Every structure is written in structure tokens, then in C-alpha cells.
Amino acid sequence: MIQLIRGFKDILPGEVELWQTIERTAVALFEDFGFDELRIPIMEKTELFARSIGEDTDIVEKEMYTFADRKGELLTLRPEATASIVRAYIQHKLHAADPAHHFYVIGPMFRRERPQKGRYRQFYQIDAEIFGDGSAWADVRLIHLLCTLMERLSVTDTAVQINSLGCPDCRPAYRRALSEMLEKVADRLCADCNRRRQRNPLRVLDCKVPGCREALTDAPALVDYLCEACKIHFDTVLESLTALNLAHQVDKRLVRGLDYYTRTTFELQTGALGAQSAVAGGGRYDGLVKALGGPDTPASGFAIGLDRLVEIVAQQQPARRRAPRLFIAALGPEPRRKAFFWRLALAEQGIRCEMEAADKSLKAQMKHADRLNAGHVLIIGDAELGKGAGVLRDMTTKAQVEIPLNNLVAALKATLAAQP
């Protein structure tokens, strides 16, 4: 039998309902907070991701699904949404009338990481971006949005970790200090870090190898090198989070795995997920729109790992398969023929109804209705057809009433609407 690809997964009925609930909650929230949906393609030219996420990142170096198409052009399955959103913003000149835009994207991303709980090769993100607002308020609004979503989903065990990565004005001095320090501990760093140390020393701070982490305990922190403007920006973010009562901690080591960040970076972490503790991550990327050929436009955003969020929500409200409101237990050819038409008419009226695919005994059909968790069962055989009334059984209370069969759809609609 052909199995699915390692690190990929199917989301089956019984699980998918929770995904739908979370997605609907997020969409409603985005509408409340003034974000518009954007749909971007699953694939882009490889160069887009290499230039925006950064050549020295794990994502670009090791994790992208890249292939040459039939004409030899290098294409990549999107490992994240931000680069594509920036590309679309520039390509469609969405900045022309007004640079300020709020976008959200929900969909699958692809990274060839080592699969484990909470880490997949196809995973899903809920992504939000604000363009054209360079103020600290934009960062705060994003974190507030993220926390409000958690609140609406009753997810409580979370904490915001936050840091500032400075700007092109203050970063060079920090880079020099970091490079000097890295040189001193070079013999304790892994091969990747030693390679990256020269070209992109900040990446070394993101290394997960325990030996490297140990060697870096005394590494200088960017927040201690911020220029005046970056410091004011960061202080405003922190003060506003406090004023909003949003719990947060400064994590001087939070550099994130993508190169485009400037100033604020943040993650939403949880204790509920074991090793993969980041439910969401994001930050400001003021240089990216210009670097990709657009006008100088500040931007900030985040992405939630939807798979991880589902796992957290599932711990408190297990997913349940959606149940039919009605099951028609029809016995014999004529009742089954009638049931076939009633079922279609009921679906047209918004009443989810199921029936047996094959002719089976009443006992078997009642068992099936029970398994599906149907709210009611309508029982009809030849006798009921002759009488012009079927039996409607409430599967919770077990109470049975007669229901007239002429104009059955209207009668059922009225009866079922009266039920919770």
C-alpha cells in the first residue's frame, strides 16, 4: 500500500472540526481587527525565499523543497508566507494608493525538517502582516491580536517572549562585538556556526546544538547596543504591553530563524507542547519591501503554527465528529425511495440527515444512528407509509412521537428547530 510522505499528514473527520473552529475564530477576529485575506500561491521562484529569509538560515540552507520545473526554472514550495505577501504587495502596487495594509493568510507551508511531535514537513500557518506602519503601536497591535485569539480559544498557558534586533544603524557595532566574542569560542562551535560566524554572526545565536548554546552564554545582547530610536521603539512596545496587561518577558537571545527582522521580534511560547514550545513567532521587517524592489515601507507580522495550536486546543476540548441532526431508518423499498427524496429536501433546508446505504434491519440502522451520534431518528416502514405518519425518536431522551408524512420536511424543520 502506498503511504503518505514522511512528515506529511491527513486531517480526518473527527479532527478537522477543531481546525475549522480555530480557522473560523481566527477569520472572525481578523475581520474585527481590520485585516483582509490574501491568497498567495503554494510555490514561488526559489530566489524569493533565498533573498528574503536569508541564504545562511536553516530554512534556506537545509529545509526547502526546491526543484527544477520542466524548463529548468528553480521553484520552491513556500516555507512561510511573509516573502510571498511582500512580493504580492510590490507586484500589484498595493502601496500605490495607500501604503497601509493589513493582510492575513491561512494555509500550508513546507519545510524539510526532522519530523517529530509538533514539527511536520507540511504544516499550516495563520499569518498576519501590517504594512506601512513603522510605529511601535503596530507591533503591539499584532501581539494584542495574537493574545486575543488565544483568549477566544481559551488557551491560557502562554507567554510572550520579546526582543529587539535593532536596525542597520545599531547592528554593525553589535555584529563586531559578537564576532569578536565568537572568535574566542570558535573551537567550541559546530561546523555550521563556524561557517556562519564570518558571514552572518547573528545566525550563530539561533543554533540549537547544546555545545554552541553553552559556548554562547556570555554572548553580548543586541538590546544593549540599540540606538536611541530603536531603544524608544522597544521601550514603547514594552510599556504598551504592560499597560494592556499582556504578560511578556524580554529574551535577549531571541533572534528568530529568519534574516529579515529588524527591531521587535517575539514568540508566543507554551508549556503545553513539550519540546516544540513556540506556538507563534514574528516581528518587524522594515527593510524587506525595499530589498525586494518595492518602496521603502515598514512592516511587521507574525505566524501561528496551526498544527501546534490545534494540539493545545485539543487538550482541553477534544474534537468530535459533526453529527447528523436526523437519521432516517427506512425499512423496505418504498420507504427507502421516499427517504431518499426527503433526505435531499432536508439537506436543501439546512438539516444534516443520513440514512443507510443498503437495506438493513431496524436494529442495525438504530445502531448506526447511535454510532453517528444522530440527534433524532425517523423510523418509517410500509405500515407508517400506510398510516401517513412516521415515528420520530429523540436519541437523547428516547422519547418517541408520531410525525405526519405529508409535508414532512416542514414538520421536521419545525420540530428540530424547537430542539437545542
Binding region for ligand HAM (CB under 6 A): 80-82, 111, 113, 119-120, 123, 125, 127, 129, 257-258, 278-283, 285, 301-303, 305, 307-308
**Cβ 387 to ligand HAM shortest distance, Å:** 58
Q: Which residue is associated with the grid cell 537571545?
A: 253
Cβ distance to ligand HAM smaller for residue 285 or 327: 285
Cβ distance to ligand HAM smaller for residue 277 or 415: 277
The C-alpha atoms of residue 56 and residue 196 are separated, in whole angstroms, by: 7
**Cβ 415 to ligand HAM shortest distance, Å:** 45
The burial of 249, by beta-carbon neighbours within 10 Å (0-12 exposed, 13-18 middle, 19 or more buried), is given as exposed
Residue type, 41: P
Contact 271, 157 (CB under 8 A): yes
Contact 205, 193 (CB under 8 A): no
Cβ distance to ligand HAM smaller for residue 19 or 342: 19
Count of other CB atoms within 10 angstroms of residue 96:
8
Cβ distance to ligand HAM smaller for residue 278 or 330: 278
Q: Which of 77, 79, 76, 88 is CA-nearest to residue 47?
A: 76
Cβ distance to ligand HAM smaller for residue 225 or 285: 285
**Cβ 92 to ligand HAM shortest distance, Å:** 19
The C-alpha atoms of residue 322 and residue 160 are separated, in whole angstroms, by: 34
> What nine digits make up the cell of 231?
531603544
**Cβ 85 to ligand HAM shortest distance, Å:** 8
**Cβ 303 to ligand HAM shortest distance, Å:** 4
**Cβ 97 to ligand HAM shortest distance, Å:** 23
Contact 8, 122 (CB under 8 A): yes
Position with the least CB separation from ligand HAM: 305
Count of other CB atoms within 10 angstroms of residue 149:
23
Cβ distance to ligand HAM smaller for residue 119 or 253: 119
Let me know the angle formed at the C-alpha of 210 by 208 and 211, rounded to the nearest 5 degrees.
120
Cβ distance to ligand HAM smaller for residue 158 or 365: 158
**Cβ 125 to ligand HAM shortest distance, Å:** 5
Q: Which of 154, 145, 101, 100 is CA-nearest to residue 126?
A: 145
Q: Which of 262, 276, 357 is CA-nearest to residue 310?
A: 276
**Cβ 52 to ligand HAM shortest distance, Å:** 9
> What nine digits make up the cell of 392?
420520530
Cβ distance to ligand HAM smaller for residue 157 or 354: 157
